[in-house]
């Protein structure tokens, strides 16, 4: 193991004899010391080699301790500084601490008094350095992850995109075959139908995957959005989906949120569509849209229904891509809606979760940041 070098201390005191004595005593205690009796050459030394700690007298003729420590920290920002001062100048010593000294020592001092102060200051320096190294590491890791994520996104986008052309060929030629070859048996025609259906389903999956991928890449706006109006419009647009259904709507006021109106529209549409879809076995569906919490930095929104619900052990899985609890014969869908909801809400800095019981309805929650300004007339429009 590499040996740890002793801490290196720069000592500056215009009383040369005292400075030399301190250098020697600290050297005896395992420190490496370099001493100067005036600040300027000490600063020049700092430019040449690295020190852990500066121990400086306060009152010196050419430049006082405060000026020295300010100049020194400009050159070497991680350096920790301790000021030595006589009894009469405590106020100035406090001033020194305000301008960046970590501690001060009153003169005359005993060795037993100075050693713990030095230890503490060096521990602070170590912590500072570790902190800097840690933040650098976090930044590097974040950059690496972002790059890897982008690459993966680009890859899945191009794969999905490239899969479309051969798939269209399969669909197209199967249909052509069915039309131009009348000699197919009934069984053969059924197979052709199944191939066409499967190709269509795969086209839908790919289209959904591309939308999902687009949602995480498109530039996001951050403006105040009138959620109340947003829901109003969605409900109007969903009228065709609700034809022939009896739905008892319950709505409580939603506060304005900060975000991207068209992305937030997707969040609400997906959750409301799910509530409508998974409650269609009920004679009268009950769907509630409301706000479950309105704190200073977070609003909690929910969409609740009295539909088929689900077992809570799957509650988190549902937010994954193509994860479905219900088969296509029971409820149609590709299983990407909630994945979109989670991703969009996460891009807004929010969380998503669900609560449900099998056959007793489900509630989906998500959080958003409240609007920072009132909603402008032209904002919040989708």
User: Under the rule (CB under 6 A), what is the footprint of ligand ATP?
Assistant: 270, 274-275, 278, 305, 307-310, 318, 323-326, 333-339, 362
Please, which of residues 271-330 interact with Mg ion by CB under 5 A? 274
* Nearest residue to 90 (alpha-carbon basis) of 54, 53, 124, 59: 59
Cβ-based nearer residue to ligand ATP, 177 or 331: 331
Name the residue whose CB lies closest to Mg ion. 337
Cα separation, 379 vs 259, whole angstroms? 11
C-beta of 347: minimal distance to ligand ATP in Å? 17
Cβ contact 26:9 at 8 Å = yes
Give, in order, the Cα–Cα distances in Å from 133 to each of 122, 139, 199, 324.
Answer: 16, 10, 53, 44
Cβ-based nearer residue to ligand ATP, 32 or 355: 355
Please, which of residues 67-86 interact with Mg ion by CB under 5 A? none
Cα separation, 274 vs 337, whole angstroms? 8
Task: Report strand pairing: 32-36 vs 223-225.
Answer: unpaired
C-beta of 337: minimal distance to Mg ion in Å? 3
C-beta of 270: minimal distance to Mg ion in Å? 5
Per-residue mark of binding to Mg ion, 320-339 (x: CB under 5 A): -----------------x--
Instruction: Decide: helix, strand or coil at residue 1.
Output: coil
C-beta of 274: minimal distance to ligand ATP in Å? 4
Backbone angles phi, psi at 15, to 5 degrees: -85, 95
If binding is defined by CB under 5 A, does position 160 make contact with Mg ion? no
- Choosing among ligand ATP, Mg ion, none, which partner's interface includes residue 81 (Cβ < 5 to 8 Å by kind)? none
- Choosing among Mg ion, ligand ATP, none, which partner's interface includes residue 336 (Cβ < 5 to 8 Å by kind)? ligand ATP
DSSP string, 14-53: SSHHHHHHHHHHHHHTT-EEEEESSHHHHHHHHHHS--SE
- Choosing among Mg ion, ligand ATP, none, which partner's interface includes residue 278 (Cβ < 5 to 8 Å by kind)? ligand ATP
Size of the site for Mg ion (CB under 5 A): 2
- Choosing among ligand ATP, Mg ion, none, which partner's interface includes residue 305 (Cβ < 5 to 8 Å by kind)? ligand ATP
**Largest Cα–Cα separation, the chain:** 113
Detail the DSSP E strand segments found in the chain.
8-12, 32-36, 53-57, 80-86, 103-107, 223-225, 247-251, 257-259, 285-294, 299-305, 352-356, 362-370
Cα separation, 256 vs 376, whole angstroms? 11
- Choosing among ligand ATP, Mg ion, none, which partner's interface includes residue 326 (Cβ < 5 to 8 Å by kind)? ligand ATP
Cβ-based nearer residue to ligand ATP, 113 or 284: 284
- Choosing among ligand ATP, Mg ion, none, which partner's interface includes residue 10 (Cβ < 5 to 8 Å by kind)? none
Cβ-based nearer residue to ligand ATP, 12 or 264: 264
- Choosing among Mg ion, ligand ATP, none, which partner's interface includes residue 324 (Cβ < 5 to 8 Å by kind)? ligand ATP
Which residue's entry shows tokens 């022939």? 244
For CA atoms 279, 285, 291, 293, the dihedral sign is negative
Could you count the other beta carbons within 10 Å of the beta carbon of residue 204?
13
Cβ contact 267:302 at 8 Å = no
Which residue's entry shows tokens 């706000």? 291
Cβ contact 55:10 at 8 Å = yes
C-beta of 317: minimal distance to ligand ATP in Å? 8
- Choosing among ligand ATP, Mg ion, none, which partner's interface includes residue 8 (Cβ < 5 to 8 Å by kind)? none
Please, which of residues 247-276 interact with Mg ion by CB under 5 A? 274
Cβ-based nearer residue to Mg ion, 86 or 333: 333
Residue 60: CA atoms inside 13 Å, Cβ hemisphere, count?
A: 26
If binding is defined by CB under 5 A, does position 352 make contact with Mg ion? no
C-beta of 142: minimal distance to ligand ATP in Å? 29
C-beta of 335: minimal distance to Mg ion in Å? 7
C-beta of 332: minimal distance to Mg ion in Å? 9
Q: Please give the residue ranges that form the binding site for Mg ion (CB under 5 A).
A: 274, 337
């Amino acid at each position: 193991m590499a040996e740890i070098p002793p801490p290196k201390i720069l000592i500056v005191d215009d009383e040369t004899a005292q400075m030399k004595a301190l250098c020697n005593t600290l050297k005896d205690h395992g420190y490496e010391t370099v001493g100067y009796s005036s600040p300027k050459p000490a600063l020049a030394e700092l430019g040449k080699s690295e020190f852990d700690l500066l121990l400086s007298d306060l009152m010196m003729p050419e430049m006082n301790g405060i000026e020295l420590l300010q100049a020194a920290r400009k050159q070497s920002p991680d350096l920790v500084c301790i000021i030595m001062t006589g009894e009469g100048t405590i106020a100035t010593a406090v001033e020194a601490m305000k301008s960046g000294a970590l501690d001060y020592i009153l003169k005359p001092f005993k060795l037993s008094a100075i050693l713990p102060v030095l230890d503490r200051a060096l521990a602070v320096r170590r912590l500072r350095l570790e902190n800097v190294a840690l933040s650098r590491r976090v930044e590097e890791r974040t950059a690496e992850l972002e790059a890897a994520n982008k690459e993966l996104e680009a890859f899945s986008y191009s794969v999905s995109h490239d899969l479309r052309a051969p798939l269209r060929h399969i669909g197209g030629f199967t249909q052509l075959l069915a039309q131009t070859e009348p000699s197919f048996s009934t069984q053969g025609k059924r197979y052709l139908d199944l191939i066409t259906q499967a190709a269509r389903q795969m086209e839908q999956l790919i289209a959904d995957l591309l939308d999902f991928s687009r949602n995480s890449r498109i530039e996001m706006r951050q403006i105040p959005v009138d959620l109340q109006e947003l829901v109003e419009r969605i409900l109007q647009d969903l009228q065709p989906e609700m034809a022939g259904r009896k739905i008892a709507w319950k709505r409580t006021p939603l506060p304005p949120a900060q975000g991207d109106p068209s992305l937030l529209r997707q969040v609400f549409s997906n959750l409301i569509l799910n509530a409508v879809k998974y409650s269609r076995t009920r004679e009268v569906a009950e769907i509630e849209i409301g706000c479950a919490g309105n704190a200073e930095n977070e609003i909690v929104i929910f969409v609740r229904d009295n539909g088929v619900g689900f077992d809570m052990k799957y509650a988190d899985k549902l937010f994954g891509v193509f994860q479905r609890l219900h088969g296509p014969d029971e409820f149609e869908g590709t299983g990407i809606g909630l994945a979109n909801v989670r991703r969009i809400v996460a891009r807004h800095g929010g969380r998503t979760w669900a609560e449900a019981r099998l056959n007793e309805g489900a509630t989906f929650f998500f959080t958003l940041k409240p609007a920072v300004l009132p909603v402008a007339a032209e904002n919040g429009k989708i």
